[in-house]
Amino acid sequence: MVPIDELYGLPLERFVPERTALARELRAGGRRDEATAVAGLRKPSVAAWAVNQLVRTQRRALDDLLAAGDALRETQAELLAGRGDGRALRDARESERDAVDVLTQAARGLLSSDGHGLSAATLDLVAGTLRAAALDDDARDQVRAGRLEHELTLVGFGDGLSGGVAAPAGRGGGRRSSAAAETKAKPRPKRDDKAQERAEAKRAEREHKAALKAARAAESEARRTAATADRALRAAEKRRDQAAAALEAADDELAQARAEAETAHEAHAQAQATLEEL
């Protein structure tokens, strides 16, 4: 049985079948409430899945990001209190951006469920979620848990100063009022359960069709490769048989030549003996 936390570390295409298997196992064990909770877990978006993988594989870089975020928030607090300066804020902001870039570059090495690298749009969502984690405590807690279902976006002043965190616009998210020194994070709002189930079923069907298409293409290519290999094998066997026949003929010729040579030597020896007797 795959623990819940491990679900979010699996390849994205395995999330739904493993979630289903886990829920089924819990239900069979009489743990119906847990089974229901597991069955209701949402499959992460590609960007959220990528961040979950970074949390598991890039711990040092993530720690550097959070430290840079702390430094940026401290610097902005000093500036707001009249004790800092713009240069220090610019330096802190640059360090935070560099830390985000390091993790975003690491995300470029991840592959989506179709075996392709993450798109530029997805990487932008990854970077936005990482920046939210750096600058917002709620977002940080969600990211560090490694169980994100949706990406997060920092909203506010856009220059490193405190703001709120919400879901991307157009997906039900929006800016929420927040004091400069007190920020909150929230994921994108969940849709109606039945609508979510229908959407997930359609997405699973699309993924299945895509996988089936890819499998058929792979089978067709493998069939062509096998046919080519069979033809090459038959040609090689034919050449081998021809070579074996030629070798056998050459062995016969060699044996005959040896016999003729031996006969000739015997005749020569006899002729030489007769000559010596005369």
Q: Where are the domains of the chain?
A: 44-190, 191-278
Lowest mean pLDDT across 76-80, 89-93, 183-187:
183-187
- CA 253/CA 181 separation, integer angstroms: 101
What does the pLDDT read at residue 167? 53
Q: Mind listing the pLDDT tens digit for each residue in 216-249?
A: 777 767 777 777 777 777 787 778 777 777 777 7
pLDDT of residue 216: 75
Place of tokens 């597991």: 38
Q: Note the pLDDT of residue 160.
A: 45
Res 41 pLDDT > 90: yes
* pLDDT score recorded for residue 192: 53
CB 24 within 8 A of CB 12: no
146 vs 254, more confident: 146
Determine the 3-state secondary structure of 161 from DSSP.
coil
How much is the average pLDDT of 135-147? 94
Give the whole-angstrom CA distance, residue 173 versus residue 129: 14
In degrees rounded to 5, what are phi and psi of residue 9? -100, -5
pLDDT band at residue 260 under the 50/70/90 scheme: confident
Q: Would you say the pTM of this structure is higher than 0.75?
A: no
Please check the confidence at residue 186 and state whether its pLDDT lies above 60. no
Confidence of residue 198 (pLDDT cuts 50, 70, 90): low
Q: Is the pLDDT of residue 107 over 60?
A: yes
| Start-to-end CA span in the chain (Å) | 106
Dump pLDDT digits (tens) for 205-215.
Answer: 776 676 667 66
Distance CA 166, CA 146 (A): 18
Bigger pLDDT: 230 vs 179: 230
